[in-house]
């Protein structure tokens, strides 16, 4: 039973390019969360999605960032026109979505470096 999968694990982009980060939740999980981790700043919530719906995007920057979780396929976090400040580790987590402990299961992360 595979856990949460993220790819790529490492991504290098030049300023102005686009970055696409993918997340496949655990089997049977319908809820996906994206977090950004900056050095010395901890884990910051970005967005929460269910299949085909954005439930909470209160942590997403207003510009250049978008997320989706289509009916088929992985969840995608997209960053357009990347800047150096976007360099960080981006983590995806998933949960079953039914009432329970709210435990989230994390992927290994994508480390984005913007040159």
101 binds other proteins (CB under 8 A): yes
99 binds other proteins (CB under 8 A): yes
Stretch that binds other proteins, among 28-36, 60-68, 71-79, 80-88 (CB under 8 A): 28-36
Q: Which two tokens stand for residue 17?
A: 């390019």
Q: Compute CA distances 57 → 22, 40, 49, 88, whole Å.
A: 17, 23, 8, 18
| Contact with other proteins (CB under 8 A) among 12, 43, 83, 115 | 43
| Contact with other proteins (CB under 8 A) among 48, 86, 88, 94 | 48
Give the footprint of other proteins on residues 63-82 (CB under 8 A): none
How many residues in total does the chain contain?
115
Q: How many CB atoms lie within 10 A of CB 60?
A: 18
| Contact with other proteins (CB under 8 A) among 26, 45, 64, 87 | 45
Contact 84, 114 (CB under 8 A): yes
């Amino acid at each position: 039973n595979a856990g949460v999968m993220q790819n790529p694990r490492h991504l290098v982009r030049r300023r102005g390019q686009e970055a696409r980060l993918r997340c496949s939740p655990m089997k049977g999980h319908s809820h996906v969360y994206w977090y950004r981790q900056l050095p010395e700043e901890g884990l910051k919530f970005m967005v929460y999605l269910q299949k085909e719906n954005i439930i909470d995007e209160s942590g997403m920057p207003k510009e250049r960032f978008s997320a989706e979780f289509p009916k088929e396929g992985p969840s995608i976090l997209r960053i357009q026109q990347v800047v150096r400040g976007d360099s960080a580790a981006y983590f995806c987590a998933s949960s079953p979505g039914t009432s329970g402990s709210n435990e989230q299961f994390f992927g290994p992360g994508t480390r984005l470096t913007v040159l």
